[in-house]
A = this chain, B = another copy of it.
Amino acid sequence: MKDLEDYHVSTMHYSRIMIAVDDDDFISSQRAFDYACTVAKIYNIPLAVAMILETGDLNIFQSLSPDVLTKQRAAIAKDLNTYCDKAREFGVLDIQPFLGEGVPSHEIVDKIIPSFRPDLLVIGSETKMGRRKTIGTHAAYMARYAPCSVIIVRSDAQISRMISYFEE
């Protein structure tokens, strides 16, 4: 293969990172957040922290009630601020929060990525091995359609569950 013979490895880094945090799944997001902050700090590059209020999670009465929505919005905005503070304490200098509302994967791919233009999207991965669901629906959608590289960060606990499931 001639192309391969002529090829030389080049140093390759990412220059804009986005982390999609699942507000309902702190455990799954934690290792992904550690990874995103580590890369952003080491290379001193901008980090976007994106959180989505899943309006599909609300029942019809809740979604029609301005009070419920207002409370949910306040709660998620508070968590987003906390995540940004944690990144700042760790040493990330350029942090940009993004708050969306709707279907998380669609909001991230269709609205937040075109706005921030990351070259790497970092996502956690929920694992429900009982039903052989090893990657969240939102993670699978983002891995497929995000116009950037995507890293799916698995925690040690998730990996252990996957391995023991396959060995059964």
Contacts and interface: CB of A to CB of B under 8 A. Distances in A.
A35 B151 CA distance: 12
Contact of A144 (B35, B140, B151): B140
A12 interface: yes
Contacts of A150: 151-152, 154
Interface in A120-145: 134-135, 140, 143-145
Given A144-B140, A149-B153, A159-B148, A34 B5 contact: no
Interface stretch (A52-60, A61-69, A79-87, A97-105): A79-87
Interface residues of A, number: 45
B26 A11 contact: no
Query: How many copies of this chain sit in the oligomeric assembly?
Result: 2
Chain A interface SS verdict (over half): helix
Interface string A21-47: 000001100110111011000000000
Interface of A: 1, 3-5, 7-13, 26-27, 30-31, 33-35, 37-38, 79, 82-83, 86-87, 89-90, 134-135, 140, 143-145, 147-154, 159, 162-163, 166
Given A5-B82, A140-B140, 17 more contacts: A1-B26, A1-B79, A1-B82, A3-B27, A4-B79, A4-B82, A8-B89, A9-B34, A9-B86, A11-B38, A12-B34, A12-B35, A140-B143, A143-B152, A147-B163, A148-B154, A149-B151
